[in-house]
């Protein structure tokens, strides 16, 4: 995993740390924050409200099949997504054919789901780390990574993505 952490940092991540699946904190209550706290609910192509989406407890069952991966941190949403997708690609090319990245989608300036159109980037749009039932706060704090509740819209944001590698 060190190879992928090094690559993530070279690609622009602020931090990249390896994890084992037992360090990922799953909590299906995350769906409540999506349903009642996110303006993308019902529109976003990567959100758990989309037709055919797995629910957090279903994602947990799938993700627990992995044994390891890396967590990527950036203060830039697009960097977080781009880095995680590139790390996924490199892991895949190294033979980890189930490598899978998750990050808040930053492909489009405005998600085409808001206009009822199909996803403009279906191969790159992925679910957010938190929307699949992962308690990002508890998970990243284990590694000493920065994450606090935003108190003001102008507070600097921390964006997290993960690449599950097996």
Q: Which pLDDT value is given to residue 107?
A: 79
DSSP, collapsed to helix, strand or coil, labels residue 10 as: helix
d(CA 114, CA 102): 21
Provide the domain limits for residue 30. Answer: 2-165
Q: Which pLDDT value is given to residue 136?
A: 93
Give the count of domains, the chain. Answer: 1
pLDDT by residue (tens digit) across 104-160? 878 778 877 778 888 778 788 888 888 899 999 999 999 999 888 888 878 888 999
Q: Which pLDDT value is given to residue 156?
A: 82
Percent of the chain's residues with pLDDT above 70: 100
DSSP, collapsed to helix, strand or coil, labels residue 65 as: coil
pLDDT by residue (tens digit) across 60-94? 999 999 999 999 999 999 999 999 999 999 999 99
> Dmax over Cα atoms in the chain, in whole Å?
43
């Amino acid at each position: 995993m060190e190879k992928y952490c090094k690559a993530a940092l070279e690609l622009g991540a602020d931090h990249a740390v390896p994890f084992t699946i037992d360090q990922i904190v799953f909590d299906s209550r995350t769906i409540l924050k999506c349903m009642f706290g996110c303006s993308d609910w019902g529109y976003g192509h990567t959100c758990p409200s989309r037709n055919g989406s797995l629910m957090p407890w279903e994602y947990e069952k799938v993700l627990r099949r992995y044994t390891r991966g890396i967590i990527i941190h950036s203060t830039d949403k697009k960097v977080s997504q781009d880095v995680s997708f590139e790390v996924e690609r490199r892991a895949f090319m190294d033979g980890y054919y189930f490598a899978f990245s998750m990050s808040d989608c930053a492909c489009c300036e405005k998600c085409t789901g808001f206009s009822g159109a199909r996803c403009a980037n279906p191969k790159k749009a992925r679910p957010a780390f938190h929307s699949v039932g992962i308690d990002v706060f508890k998970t990243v704090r284990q590694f000493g990574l920065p994450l606090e509740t935003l108190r003001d819209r102008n507070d600097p944001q921390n964006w997290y993505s993960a690449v599950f590698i097996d």
